[in-house]
Amino acid sequence: MCGITGFVAAPGAAAPAPGVIERMTAAIAHRGPDGDGFHVEGGVAFGHRRLSIIDVAGGDNPLFDAEGHVAVMFNGEIYNHLGLRAELEQRGRRPRTGSDGEVLVHGYLEWGIDELLRRVRGMFAFALHDRRDGAVHLARDPLGIKPLHLHVDGQGLRFGSEAKSIVAALGKRPALDTRGLFESACLGFILAPRTIYAGIESLPPGHRALYAEGRLTLTRYHRLAFEPGREVADPGELWSRLSTAVDSHLMSEVPLGAFLSGGMDSSAVVAAMSQVAEGGVNAICVGVEDEGLDERPFARQVAESLGVTLFEESARSDLADLLPRLAWHLEAPFADTSAAPTWLVCEAARRHVTVTLSGDGGDENFAGYRRTRYDVLEETWRRRLPGWLRSGLLGPLGRVWPQSSWLPRPLRAGTLLRNLGDDWLNAYVRSMTRVREEQVRRILRPEVCPDEPLRASFEPAASAAQDLDPLSRVQSMDFATWLADDILVKVDRTSMAHGLEVRVPLLDTDFVEWAAGLPGEAKLAGGEGKALFRRALRGQVPDGVIDRPKQGFHLPVGGWLRGDLRERLAEILTESAGPAFDFVDHRRMERLADEHQAERADRSGELWMLMTLDAFLRHGPGGPQEGGPLASEPAAVGTAP
């Protein structure tokens, strides 16, 4: 697990200036605390930071073939590298290291870029310089587990695992992309390829890029196909496939463990580890000091039943101190409140292991979210109700229905009525927003609000999902947007901030593609998600884990905004000329804060958005207060918490 970055000069442009690639690489030093490496040749300059996991002694980047035709910088893990290596050796290739990344070098020379990408299975982003023709190839894994950012101008191509390396090359913070700001205010995250920086884009998952003769060409090489045509599989087959995926993710020459929340997904991963791993299993859990949110008792139950060692940590509420670090690492006003506990669990894990497995992906594979069930149910009703009733009565009624959080839950019917009166895409987008689009347009200054509605950002993904059945459509949208641009971004940045590698076996490509072919009743049955997954877990983990209600990984920010965070919020609002108010209406935010403090309404979404925007503008890459100890130094594995 590492970080990569680079600069490729355009034809006729000057080669990268001395020191530029070093600055770009230093900006992502936290991703690879074990060393750096460089490949500089003419107008091409690659940089690499290494977190040593596989072939600790000999796997430094760049990696070359024996003749020196190709140079590769690699971030990630190739889980089927041993099989590919054996095949390449049979074809006469002679890898010189034990690094999993070296199969990219020889696979490219043997098969070409497209066949290579079809064969490799793993999480990755890599840059490959073909020294024979000068072409530079870039690629990102099918689901977007590992990131890659791009910037192209008349000087050439700049790229990096994180946008901050590009900002370092430019020497200043680029202008903000106002559409990205709008998306982050509504959703809490930004949809690829857009970022918060104008001119810097994220290479979408499952894409490769070719930079040659001053032109960047993007090609999609993978699209997850939802074709639920098979019969419902046996639970034993699911467990066998899950165990195989977990087993493939255990290769490591450094200490390895797993996150354990006590929920189904992480418990399934830990249970499979306990069966296939050699030696004991270490698990890490972070709890919140709130009886309704603390999952540590469930994690203990799982750990005791499986005989694994559990390290417990407690989430702190000093988010005011944590926000600058999150802003710098997440590189956006990222308003998903689960980023904070994810940071804390990664910080805790790094004290015990260097690699950890996560349960991310279970809800996306097997319809585990409540909103997924609601979306499918709404579509069922939408298709049954006559058009005149939906558009003439339900939609207008939903728009005037009170939207106040103080209403009893049975009376909060406005969103349901609007969704029934609307099309499926508007309903899906509405289910994804943290702050309603109408509210965001009142909060943001008019000059930074785009004319296009929020749904326009989802339309590329929607066009690919349009003809699918309702459940597959929601899953396809989740993989393309929510998973790739929120969940995986959050996990990558918060883990790499601590020099920790996180692997996600439930997002193993083979496992995901198999799950995508299951019929709907294997996922959603009797109004409950994860139908087959639950059956597969019986006898593997305690029944209490399977039967308890789903619990999200969030912090009680609403209460903390009235308590521990109140002082910091007041400081932001007092400074009416603060950076956030170049984009946000100050008076409206004051009124929302007053409503929240008086408990007349829950305005935590809007206020947390303000706090993350303020932290990003001050402390994010290129910001006026950037710098300082923004990332924790990786702890020595095995020390006490």
Q: Is residue 107 domain-shared with residue 211, that is, in the same domain?
A: yes
Of residues 2, 186, 285, 449, which has the active-site annotation?
A: 2
- Rounded Cα gap, residues 398 and 383, in angstroms: 18
Which range scores top for mean pLDDT: 182-191, 280-289, 341-350? Answer: 182-191
Query: Is residue 612 in a domain?
Result: no
* Cα dihedral 520→525→531→532 (10° resolution): -50
Residue 173 has pLDDT above 80, yes or no: yes
Mark which of 470, 499, 520 sits at the end of a domain: 470
| Single residue among 470, 495, 520 that ends a domain in this structure | 470
- Encode 569-594: b = buried (16+ Cβ within 10 Å), e = exposed: beebbeeeebbbbebbebeebeebbe
pLDDT band at 469 (very low <50, low <70, confident <90, very high): very high
Residue 319 pLDDT: 79
Average pLDDT over residues 213-218: 96
Confidence category of residue 417, pLDDT binned at 50, 70, 90: low
346 with 415, same domain: the answer is no
| Backbone dihedral angles phi then psi of residue 204, each to the nearest 5 degrees | -65, 155
Whether 273 is covered by a domain: the verdict is yes
Q: Could you give the number of structural domains in the chain?
A: 3
Range of the domain at 192: 2-220
In a shared domain, residues 36 and 183 = yes
State yes or no: pLDDT of 45 exceeds 60. yes
Looking at residue 248, which CATH number applies to its domain? 3.40.50.620
Residue 2 a catalytic site member:
yes
Kindly report, residue by residue over 244-281, the tens digit of the pLDDT: 999 999 988 788 999 998 899 999 999 999 999 888 89
Whether 355 and 486 map to the same domain: the answer is yes
Task: Indicate whether 117 pLDDT > 60.
Answer: yes
The counts of H helices and E strands in the chain are 28, 17
> Model pTM?
0.93
Is 619 part of a structural domain of the chain? no
Tell which wins on pLDDT, 628 or 98: 98
pLDDT digits (tens, 9 = 90+) for 558-613: 888 998 899 999 999 998 889 999 999 999 999 999 999 999 999 999 999 999 99
Residue 42 has pLDDT above 80, yes or no: yes
Asked if 495 and 353 sit in the same domain, the reply is yes
Looking at the structure, tell me whether residues 6 and 53 fall in a common domain: yes
CA distances from 616 to 29, 182, 562 (A): 20, 14, 22
CB environment 475-497: b (16+ within 10 A), e (fewer) = bbbbbbbbbbbbbbbbbbbbbbb
Mean pLDDT score, 317-345: 89
Read off the pLDDT of each residue in 129-137 and give the average, rounded to a whole number.
96
CB 332 within 8 A of CB 615: no
The verdict on 401 and 515 lying in the same domain is no
Q: Is residue 396 a part of any domain in this protein?
A: yes
Same domain, 341 and 377: no
- Cis ω for the linkage preceding 519 (within 30 of 0): no
Residue 390 has pLDDT above 70, yes or no: no
Q: What is the pLDDT of residues 65-76, one digit of tens each?
A: 989 999 999 999
Alpha-carbon separation of residue 327 from 541, 575, 583, 617 (angstroms): 37, 19, 17, 8
pLDDT average, residue stretch 295-312: 91
Within a domain: 288: yes
Read off the tokens for 118: 């079809």
User: Would 578 be classed as within a structural domain?
Assistant: no
Which pLDDT score, from 0 to 100, does residue 287 have? 76
CATH code of 89's domain: 3.60.20.10
Say what the pLDDT of residue 592 is: 97
- Confidence at 294, pLDDT banded by 50, 70, 90: confident
What pLDDT is stored for residue 552 in this prediction?
63
Selected residue with higher pLDDT from 291 and 441: 441
Q: Would 518 be classed as within a structural domain?
A: yes
Mean pLDDT, the chain, whole residue set:
89
Q: How far apart are CA 604 and CA 435, in angstroms?
A: 9
Domain identity same for 362 and 379 = no
Nearest one of 234, 225, 209 to 114, comparing CA atoms: 209
Select from 513, 547, 581 the last residue of a domain: 547
What is the per-residue pLDDT for 411? 39
Residues 361 and 374 in one domain: no
The CA distance from 547 to 541, in Å, is 11
Which band of pLDDT confidence, cut at 50, 70 and 90, is reported for residue 409?
very low
Q: Which two three-digit tokens encode residue 339?
A: 């980023």
Cis peptide before 95 (omega within 30 of 0): no
Of 153-167, 287-301, 352-366, which range is least confident?
Answer: 287-301
Which residue do the tokens 């970022």 mark? 195
Asked if residue 408 and residue 509 are part of one domain, the reply reads no
Same-domain check for residues 210 and 108: yes
